[in-house]
């Protein structure tokens, strides 16, 4: 059987890692004309078939909806051999069903959809299905997949942030247009000044490159007080506060980004990435590289452990605001280097790192990254980095972090929260500076406000975040007090 043979081959080449399948799926659908055409053709063929039987379309849609709902409630086997057994059973059943004729196509599709749920590399399996199962069955499996992805994304803000973070994300329409909607972070209970509202670790972080191989841990950004550890194979020459940080860094990104088969070759891709980050004193390309490596790590973990987190790292950043970054020579160089580096190590990633996607990631960092301060000595002289971050305190910034939840906090020159790093590492605490009631929106100052006047504040915000501040304080000071709220 061609199908079984292909799947067997698929299972044997699982050493190769794929990217987040929902992303990849969407990416293929949008960017690969052949794939799209094929889907369209398949859809068209299936539609014609459906039109021949009155009500069949509704029947299929109902079936798909019910199947996705039911399968979501099902528990699937967890260990590898049980998964394999379940997978083989579903595929065999699916094959025999579609072999018995068109009346059994929907049930066959359900089997193939269930098989997808336990297969370690769903993207690959979809490709195999596409070549091996009847078009109408494939279309149905495709619709189940699409519906599942759509449902999961639509429910995002119901599931995230987790309840124990004491906040909710809400959409607020502003101005007259319905389309002009912004998202903000709202307190789920009352807080008093000084209360920690929530704590959060970043998705990606980095020291200012001038501080690497120095006094701070490259992973958790903690100031090194009692010695450090490092890995000889690491071309980035990062130092860590502990074995634990070193192992995490190596697993999540450093082994992929900074270990090379040609460690002494100064022109290796890894060595060039080190050069780009360190000589340019730029942390954003490094944070993007780490972010992408982390996505790969997440997929590998999913394949290895069978544990599928409800939302991927990509899902989390997809809804965040960003500044539009026009393509330039500098970015073109960064994109080219990352594409080459990833292409050699992870199949599929070269295509994934498109110019559009890279610039969007950079724009998200530019809008949302928080300056991190873990230094015990606030007077320490730090070579200022040109990449701006949200910095609400007077303390010097030693690095930056990209946070899932804190990224939703809106700016105000008269904020009700501030950032703190009480663990003296990258763990961010959002702390109340005023009395906050359940339902109040959390606001933070993106800039150091001090005693600065209206123009100076607005100019900085305009230059770095490209908005003209209309917070209560700015409106009062600009004489726009009648309309101030």
**Interaction between residue 444 and Zn ion (CB under 5 A):** no
Choices 7-15, 338-346, 389-397, 464-472 (CB under 5 A): range interacting with Zn ion: 464-472
Gap between the Cα atoms of 463 and 460, Å rounded:
5
Q: Which is nearer to Zn ion, 90 or 445 (CB)?
A: 445
**Interaction between residue 241 and Zn ion (CB under 5 A):** yes
Gap between the Cα atoms of 358 and 446, Å rounded:
24
Gap between the Cα atoms of 428 and 199, Å rounded:
6
Other CB atoms within a 10 A radius of the CB of residue 52 amount to 8
Min dist CB 419 to Zn ion, Å, is 18
Give the interface size with Zn ion as a residue count (CB under 5 A): 10
- HSE, CB side, 13 Å, CA atoms: give it for residue 299: 25
CB contact at 8 A, 331 and 291? no
Min dist CB 143 to Zn ion, Å, is 46
CB contact at 8 A, 186 and 200? no
**Interaction between residue 469 and Zn ion (CB under 5 A):** yes
Min dist CB 368 to Zn ion, Å, is 18
Residue with tokens 């910034």: 397
Q: Which is nearer to Zn ion, 142 or 370 (CB)?
A: 370
Q: Which is nearer to Zn ion, 314 or 421 (CB)?
A: 421
Min dist CB 414 to Zn ion, Å, is 7
Is 35 strand, coil or helix? helix
Show the tokens assigned to 286: 């490094």
Report the residue from 287, 413, 430, 447 that binds Zn ion according to the rule CB under 5 A: 413
CB contact at 8 A, 320 and 405? no
Choices 75-83, 170-178, 235-243, 340-348 (CB under 5 A): range interacting with Zn ion: 235-243
Return phi, psi of residue 431, to 5°: -115, 135
Min dist CB 469 to Zn ion, Å, is 3
DSSP 482: T
Nearest one of 260, 295, 357 to 18, comparing CA atoms: 295
Min dist CB 415 to Zn ion, Å, is 10
Show the tokens assigned to 229: 């550890």
What x/- string results for residues 161 through 200 when contact with Zn ion is judged by CB under 5 A? ----------------------------------------
Q: Report the site for Zn ion in 204-233 (rule: CB under 5 A).
A: 217, 219-220, 222
CB contact at 8 A, 362 and 325? yes
**Interaction between residue 474 and Zn ion (CB under 5 A):** yes
Min dist CB 111 to Zn ion, Å, is 48
Pairing of strands 399-402, 370-372: antiparallel
Q: Which is nearer to Zn ion, 300 or 449 (CB)?
A: 449
Report the residue from 197, 245, 254, 296 that binds Zn ion according to the rule CB under 5 A: 245
Site residues (CB under 5 A) for Zn ion? 217, 219-220, 222, 241, 245, 413, 469, 471, 474
């Amino acid at each position: 059987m061609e199908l079984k043979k292909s799947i067997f081959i698929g299972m044997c080449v699982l050493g190769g890692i794929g990217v987040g399948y929902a992303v990849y799926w969407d990416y293929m659908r949008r960017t690969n004309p052949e794939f799209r055409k094929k889907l369209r053709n398949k859809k068209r063929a299936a539609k014609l078939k459906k039109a021949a039987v009155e009500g069949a379309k509704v029947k299929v849609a109902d079936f798909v909806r019910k199947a996705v709902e039911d399968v979501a409630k099902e528990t699937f086997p967890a260990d590898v051999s049980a998964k394999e057994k379940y997978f083989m059973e579903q595929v065999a059943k699916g094959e025999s069903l579609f072999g018995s004729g068109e009346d059994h196509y929907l049930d066959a599709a359900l089997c193939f959809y269930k098989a997808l749920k336990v297969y370690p590399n769903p993207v690959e399996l979809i490709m195999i299905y596409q070549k091996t199962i009847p078009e109408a069955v494939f279309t149905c499996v495709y619709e189940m997949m699409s519906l599942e992805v759509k449902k999961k994304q639509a429910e995002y803000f119901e599931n995230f942030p987790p309840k124990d973070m004491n906040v909710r994300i809400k959409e607020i329409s502003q101005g007259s247009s319905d389309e002009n909607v912004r998202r903000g972070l709202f307190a789920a209970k009352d807080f008093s000044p000084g209360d920690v509202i929530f704590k959060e670790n970043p998705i990606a972080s980095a020291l200012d490159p001038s501080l690497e191989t120095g006094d701070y841990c490259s992973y958790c950004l903690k100031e090194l007080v009692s010695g450090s550890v490092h890995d000889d194979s690491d071309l980035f020459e990062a130092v860590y506060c502990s074995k634990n940080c070193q192992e995490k860094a190596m697993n999540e990104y450093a082994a992929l980004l900074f270990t090379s088969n040609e460690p002494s070759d100064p022109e290796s891709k890894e060595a060039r990435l080190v050069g780009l980050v360190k000589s340019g004193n730029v942390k954003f390309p490094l944070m993007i590289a780490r972010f992408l490596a982390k996505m790969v790590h997440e997929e590998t973990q999913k394949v290895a452990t069978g544990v599928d987190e409800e939302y991927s790292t990509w899902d989390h950043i997809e809804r965040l605001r960003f500044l539009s970054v026009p393509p330039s020579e500098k970015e073109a160089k960064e994109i080219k280097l990352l594409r080459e580096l990833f292409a050699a190590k992870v199949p599929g990633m070269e295509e994934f790192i498109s110019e559009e996607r890279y610039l969007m990631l950079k724009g998200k960092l530019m809008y949302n990254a928080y300056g991190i301060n873990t230094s015990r000595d606030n007077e320490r002289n730090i070579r200022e980095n040109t990449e701006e971050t949200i910095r609400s305190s007077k303390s010097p910034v030693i690095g930056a972090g990209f946070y899932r939840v804190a990224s939703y906090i809106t700016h105000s020159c008269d904020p009700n929260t501030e950032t703190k790093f009480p663990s003296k590492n990258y763990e961010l605490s959002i702390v109340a500076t005023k009395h906050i009631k359940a339902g109040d929106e959390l606001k933070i100052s993106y800039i150091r406000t001090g005693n600065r006047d209206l123009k100076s504040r607005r100019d900085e915000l305009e230059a770095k975040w490209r908005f003209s501040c209309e917070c209560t304080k700015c409106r009062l000071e600009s004489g726009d007090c009648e309309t101030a709220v």
